[in-house]
Amino acid sequence: MLGSLTLPPLPEIVTTDWQSIKDLYSISKYPHLHLNSGSAGIMPTVVQDKVAALTRQMNENPPYEMWDSWAELRYTNGKRLAAHINAKHEEVTVVRNTTEAMNLVIFGYPFTAQDHVVYGSQEYPYGVGSLKQAQKKHGFDLSEITMHDVDEVSDEEIISRYKAALRPNTKLILISYVSFREGRILPIKAITELAHANGTEVLLDAAHAYAHFIHDVKDLGIDYYATSLHKWLTAPHGTGLLYIKEDHIAKLLPPLPSINDEQDIKKFDHLGTRPFQLEIGISYALTFQDTIGFEKKANRLLALTQYWTDRIVDMPGVKLHTPIGKGRCGAVAAFSIEGRSSTALLKTLMDDYGIHTKVSGYPQGKSFLRVSPNLFTLESDLDIFVSAIQQETTK
């Protein structure tokens, strides 16, 4: 029942003490130092417990919970999720993840064989795979912008490459807000402006943007926005969000049939019976974030990156692959050590120091380690990581 779904107040100390925040995650008892939040978020324990309780509740009377009892909360969730990026409630719907949200746009889009579509080589392979499959279906032209050096070039250079790729018939650009390879925030507003001047629409892969740093879909001007709520919002795994600018909703045909009105964004989430307890669980992740304060969270995530990068940047052979600073990165950044294989370094960090990171880079050869701490990471944890890198650079 709605009354019983209120999140218990979090300890007051939450607002001042990061150790107390770490204690709110079961990960604090994990034997390894977890520095790969970019791949998937971790729910705070209180949210995990709520989802477990919701699963029990769902199994007491599923039809009643799914369609009656939780209806109001699902509605409120949608409003809160939309408000977070300054979207209208009527422009968002909850889906399962970024992959699904991108596919709903790509396979719902009224492409023709005369169209042209653009993406950059920094994009997430599944998004690119969807475009390639849609190309087989519709026969449009698909161009890849060479971006294997996102870790080195200026924003101006990136913008000019997107500008040069546009043709009079370019219908859509797929671009990530944050390149998953090295965590760089891309100059989306400028790219959207030049796309619109050409009559081109923009699908933003915001997998690493939502609930990570402050942004506003209206200010960015983007047309379609796909994200996962299980990454930086740390909502239940298998929850995501799709935003479609109001004017575009009617022209997209949902890839899975729906009985909803063509103007209604709900036509994209017509999946029938599903684990609604996960969707309800989102409200607790939102409340957790609100309790800490979003701005404070965003500042903390950036500060963690600044902390470890500041301490390793001048070590012998260390190269950073992410521009560091507000508006340039958040909690995801990458580095390499000259002459060391990233795959071998990943293994050494795990085997010898108990530190979990991720190998990233470009298929064309550049390889580095991606590091992504989270609210449960303390400076003292990062000191362990920094000390490991120091030992490795002097071997």
Extended beta strands in 149-278, E state: 170-176, 201-205, 224-228, 240-244
As a whole number of angstroms, the distance between CA 373 and CA 365 comes to 25
Minimum gap (Å) between residue 47 Cβ and ligand PLP: 17
* Secondary element (H or E) of residue 130: helix 125-138
Question: Which of positions 37-96 make contact with ligand PLP (CB under 6 A)?
Answer: 39
Among 36, 98, 289, 357, binds ligand PLP (CB under 6 A): 98
Q: Which stretch binds ligand PLP (CB under 6 A): 97-105, 216-224, 258-266, 335-343?
A: 97-105
Around Cβ 110, how many Cβ atoms within 10 Å?
10
Return left, alpha or beta for 361; rule: phi > 0 is left, psi -120 to 50 is alpha, else beta.
Answer: left
What DSSP element (H or E) covers 155? helix 155-165
Separation in Å, CA 58 to CA 78, 126, 168, 284 = 20, 32, 52, 16
Of the candidates 111, 119, 140, 180, which one interacts with ligand PLP according to CB under 6 A?
180
Closest distance of CB 67 from ligand PLP, Å: 27
Enumerate residues 107-166 that contact ligand PLP by CB under 6 A.
Answer: 124
Tokens of 253: 């045909």
3-class SS of residue 231:
coil
| CA quadruple 360, 363, 366, 371: dihedral, nearest 10 | -10
For ligand PLP, the binding residues in 253-312 under the rule CB under 6 A are: none
Distance CA 144, CA 117 (A): 9
Nearest CB to ligand PLP, comparing residues 96 and 245: 96
Find all residues with CB under 8 Å of 65, minimum gap 6, and list them: 57, 58, 276, 277
Q: Report if residue 176 touches ligand PLP, rule: CB under 6 A.
A: yes
Q: Which residues contact 166 (CB under 8 A, 6 or more apart)?
A: 118, 194, 195, 198, 200
Q: Please list every residue from 205 through 264 that binds ligand PLP, using CB under 6 A.
A: 205, 207-208, 228
Give the torsion through C-alpha atoms of 248, 254, 255, 257, to 10 deg: -170
CB 236 within 8 A of CB 278: yes
Closest CB 72 distance from ligand PLP, rounded Å: 27
> Taking the complex as a whole, how short is the minimal distance between the CB of residue 59 and ligand PLP, in angstroms?
26
Asked whether 170 and 204 are in contact (CB, 8 A), the reply is: no
Nearer to ligand PLP, 57 or 98 (CB): 98
Please identify, using beta-carbon distances, which residue of 57 and 227 lies nearer to ligand PLP.
227
Q: Which of 69, 97, 170, 377 binds ligand PLP (CB under 6 A)?
A: 97
Q: Judged by CB under 6 A, how many residues of this single chain contact ligand PLP? A: 11
**List 37, 69, 99, 289, residue binding ligand PLP (CB under 6 A):** 99
Q: Which stretch binds ligand PLP (CB under 6 A): 201-209, 255-263, 279-287, 353-361?
A: 201-209
* Least distance in angstroms from the C-beta of 333 to ligand PLP: 14
Binding mask 26-45 for ligand PLP (x = CB under 6 A): -------------x------
Of the pair 69, 367, the CB lying nearest ligand PLP is at: 367
Q: Would you say 65 or 279 has its CB closer to ligand PLP?
A: 279
> Within 311-340, which residues bind ligand PLP (CB under 6 A)?
none
Q: List contacts with ligand PLP (CB under 6 A).
A: 39, 97-99, 124, 176, 180, 205, 207-208, 228
